[in-house]
Amino acid sequence: MSDLQLQGLRKTYGTNVAVENLSLDVRDGEMVAFLGPSGCGKTTTLRMVAGFVSPTAGTIRVGGADITDLPPNRRDMGMVFQSYALFPHMTVRGNVAFGLKARHVNAAEVPSRIADALKLVGLSGYEERYPRELSGGQQQRVALARVLALRPKLLLFDEPLSNLDAKLRVQMRHEIRSLQKEVGITSLFVTHDQEEAMTIADRIVVMNVGRIEQAGTPDEIYDAPQTRFVADFIGTANLIPGQVADGRFRSTRGFELPLPDGAQASANEIVLSLRPEKIDMVAPETPESVVATITRVTKLGSTVEYAVTLASGDTLVVQKQNRSDRNNHEVGGQVGLLWSRADARLLP
Amino acid sequence: MILAAANLLIGLFLLAPMIVVVATAFTTTNYPVFPPVGFTFKWFHEFLSNTDFTDATQRSAVLATVSTLLSTALGTLSALALARWRGRGQQAVTMFMLSPILFPTIVLGLALLVFYSRVGLSGTFIGLVIAHSVVTTPFVIRLVLAGLAEFDPSVEEAARNLGAGWWRTFFLVTLPLIRPGVLAGAIFAFILSFDELVITLFLAGPGMQTLPIRIYTFVEYSSAPTISAIATVLIVAWVAIGVPVYARFLSIRHK
């Protein structure tokens, strides 16, 4: 019932284009993460949905109803802010009650709605505390309870975990995800943290300079990036510039290999994208392997990163698990590289 | 230690005139002397039984109250608008709004006199209210702006998002959070208006003597310690009413 449709959304500030022709359908109950570097338009998009920014063009529909021109207080959405945005002069109870009163929820129902919401976020017993008496994580839980108590049609998260320390951030990710599944409310989650997006979302929308680069499940985004930007922004990727000729990929430096499955031949400048962890290191004489020389070894704790140079001069990064019985290669050593054809992707 | 001693000295320096004034209010001589000679309440009686003085005090209190209400409302709204202004011109307009602080009051008084005689406001109570507000509003703006510096605007957005309209957001969220600045501005405005002499001299009509004008004309022909008694009453009133209000509301109370 509460699906969200964005159609041709556009926002300009003077000659500055913040969001350009953005269209997206979000299914009922789906959690969609907007991911991108700062200034990519993800927050502007969220603020247009919330009603704090009015679009220059386009429409926003919730459950089929056009809400593009409704003021924020009549949109029936719950937003969780990066700064928590709790009311410092009200208790936890006062904070949660605020929205219920503003929306004229039946007074007899208010206490139980507050209790339910606080129980949901694990803060029962904190009713009389003031925000400044709570930790950052607890404050963000109050902010969550405050919007959940309203049972809104849509939950909007604006980088809600950025102000928390690293460990708590990881824990809260899972909590928010399981809470969202439990209540089943359609949600948008803005973040610049790709791990956060991959943990929390059913679908990730990668944005860059006001446009959607790619929208898909976390797996699709990671394993099948559609553009150079997505391959580079999500995780790390070896990007080798080159051309397609005679059914083979030929790098600018002269390294050649058969086209990946399903790749379309094109004479234009393209890049070959290959994730560092998808490359196997084998003995140099292994059939079909590409011989390379190790030029750098970096231990990253749980993984080891190797920089290797091919005969053509192209450099690749290879990432392996840090295991004492394997992958013990040293600088100057020769190795053979193998990868599955499907993992090498040609991108425009 | 040195800082504490310096503080004590500065405190004494600031308090000394007040001590002298209060002491001279009780002298039995016909002019203020320090230390006072003898002890009498005569000058207080002189002040309170003189309708010229009491009328003027009442008029000043009413004038200060009305102009404080006006300038606090205008100054708060103006500060809110200035604090939210993103982009060009914000600095320039802020400076412009604050400029009456820098303007010599005697020039302002003259300018208002010329202007009022054209629009028919000279010698009216409302004319005085407006004139005082011109002087006091910039101080309200300044103090509310200072309070807004640490105001998180997303708190207002949260209120709107939770379903609150403009009024509910303003009165239940914004105003309680900027209250210290607003109150400091109001207190400042009241004191400035109550004490205002120069502009009022230009604009007050006959029979509209405020307390500062009454004192000013009084000291022109008399040196009786009555004015010391008036000053003492004002100081006591300030300590009894102003200070507790200041202390009670100047911090946001979370508890």
> Where exactly are the structural domains of chain A?
4-223, 236-347
pLDDT higher than threshold 80 for residue B106: yes
Phi and psi at residue A184, to the nearest 5°: 70, 30
Chain B residue nearest residue A49, CA to CA:
B161
Q: Specify whether the backbone of B136 is left (phi greater than 0), alpha (psi in -120 to 50) or beta.
A: alpha
Q: What is the dihedral of CA B51, B54, B58, B61, to 10 degrees?
A: 150
Cα A39 from chain centre: 15
A151: alpha, beta or left, given left = phi > 0 and alpha = psi -120 to 50? left
Look at residue B113 and tell me if it is in a domain: yes
Determine the pLDDT at residue B36: 82
List of chain A residues whose C-beta atoms are within 8 Å of the C-beta of residue B88 = none
- Confidence class for position A106, pLDDT limits 50, 70, 90: very high
Q: Residue B226: which domain range?
A: 57-249
In a domain, B78, yes or no: yes
- In this prediction, residue A348 carries a pLDDT of 79
Report the b/e string of B199-226 with b at 16+ CB within 10 A. bbbbbbeeebbbbbbbbbebeeeeebbb
Q: Given A85, A98, A132, which is nearest B152 (Cβ)?
A: A85
Rounded to an integer, the average pLDDT of A208-218 is 94
End-to-end CA, chain A? 38
For an interface test with B, which of A75, A89, A133 has the most B Cβ atoms less than 10 Å from its Cβ? A89
Write the CA distances from A186 to A122, A177, B116, integer angstroms.
22, 12, 62
- CB pair distance less than 8 Å for B162 and A99: yes
Report pLDDT for B253: 47
Instruction: Spell out which residues of chain A touch residue B255, defining contact as CB-CB under 8 Å.
Output: 130
Q: List the CATH number of the domain containing B100.
A: 1.10.3720.10
What whole-number distance in Å separates Cα of residue B100 and Cα of residue B121? 20
Residue B29 included in any domain: no
Report the residue of B161, B178, B251, B253 to disrupt the A interface, i.e. the one with the largest count of A CBs within 10 Å. Answer: B161
Q: Which two tokens stand for residue A38?
A: 């700062």
Q: Which of B154, B168, B176 faces A102 most closely, judged by CB atoms?
A: B168
Q: Which of A71, A82, A89 sits opposite B254 (nearest CB)?
A: A89
Name the band, by pLDDT with cuts 50, 70 and 90, for residue A263: low
pLDDT digits (tens, 9 = 90+) for A8-24: 999 999 889 999 999 99
Chain A CB contacts of B251 under 8 Å are none
Here the contacts of A322-331 (C-beta below 8 Å, separation 24 or greater) are A327/A281, A329/A281, A329/A294, A329/A297, A330/A294, A330/A297, A331/A294, A331/A295, A331/A296, A331/A297
pLDDT in tens, A137-169: 999 999 999 999 999 999 999 999 988 888 899
pLDDT at B254: 39
Give the count of domains, chain B.
1
Which of A67, A74, A87 would best serve as a mutation to test chain B binding (most B beta carbons within 10 A)?
A87
Residue of B nearest to A85 (CA): B155
Contact A102 B177 (CB under 8 A): no
Task: Give DSSP secondary structure letters for A30-67.
Answer: -EEEEE-STTSSHHHHHHHHHTSS--SEEEEEETTEE-
Q: Do A85 and B158 touch (CB under 8 A)?
A: yes
Question: What's the pLDDT score for residue A88?
Answer: 94
pLDDT digits (tens, 9 = 90+) for A114-123: 999 999 999 9
Q: What is the pLDDT of residue B255?
A: 35
Q: So what's the ipTM on this one?
A: 0.84
Q: According to the 3-state scheme, what is the secondary structure of B106-170?
A: HHHHHHHHHHHHHHCCCCCHHHHHHHHHHHHHHHHHHHHHHHHCCCCCHHHHHHHHCCCCHHHHH
- Of A9-13, A151-155, A201-205, B45-49, which range is least confident? B45-49
- Does A89 reach chain B within 8 Å, measured CB to CB? yes
Contacts of B172 in chain A (CB under 8 A): 98
Disruptive mutation site among B162, B167, B173, B182 for chain A (greatest number of A CBs within 10 Å):
B162
Q: Kindly indicate the confidence band of residue A265, based on its pLDDT and cuts at 50, 70 and 90.
A: low
Measured between CA atoms, how close is A202 to chain B, in angstroms? 25
Distance CA B237, CA B190 (A): 13
- SS3 of A187-253: the string is EEEEECCHHHHHHHCCEEEEEECCEEEEEECHHHHHHCCCCHHHHHHCCCCEEEEEEEECCEEEECC
- State the Cα–Cα distance between residues B4 and B24, nearest whole angstrom: 30
Q: Indicate whether A248 pLDDT > 90.
A: no
A147 near B162, Cβ under 8 Å? yes
Q: Give how far B159 is from chain A: nearest CA, Å.
A: 7
Token digits for A11? 């926002």
CB-nearest partner of B152 from A77, A83, A89: A83
- Number of Cα atoms under 13 Å in the Cβ half of residue A32: 25
- Calpha distance B129→B151 (Å, rounded): 31
Q: Which of A75, A85, A156 sits opposite B154 (nearest CB)?
A: A85
Given CB atoms, is A87 within the 8 Å cutoff of chain B?
Answer: yes
Instruction: Name the amino acid, one letter, at A255.
Output: F
Which pLDDT score, from 0 to 100, does residue B130 have? 94
Does the domain spanning A236-347 belong to CATH 2.30.29.30? no
CA B131: distance to chain centroid?
A: 13
R_g of chain A computed on alpha carbons: 25
Q: What is the mean pLDDT of chain B?
A: 88
- Mean of all residue pLDDT scores within chain A: 90
Question: What is the C-alpha to C-alpha distance for residues B190 and B176, in angstroms, rounded to an integer?
Answer: 21
Looking at residue A326, its pLDDT comes to 66
Average pLDDT over residues B58-69: 95
Mean pLDDT, residues A40-67: 94
CB pairs under 8 A between A and B: 77
Residue B161 lies inside a defined structural domain of this protein:
yes
CA distance B22 to A25: 77
Least-confidence region, from B83-97, B135-149, B186-200: B83-97
Minimal C-alpha gap between B172 and chain A (Å): 9
For domain A4-223, the question of CATH label 3.40.50.300 is answered with yes
| Residues B187, B192, B194, B198, Cα dihedral to 10° | -170
Restricting to A residues 122-161, those with a Cβ less than 8 Å away from any Cβ of B are 130, 132, 143, 146-147, 150, 156
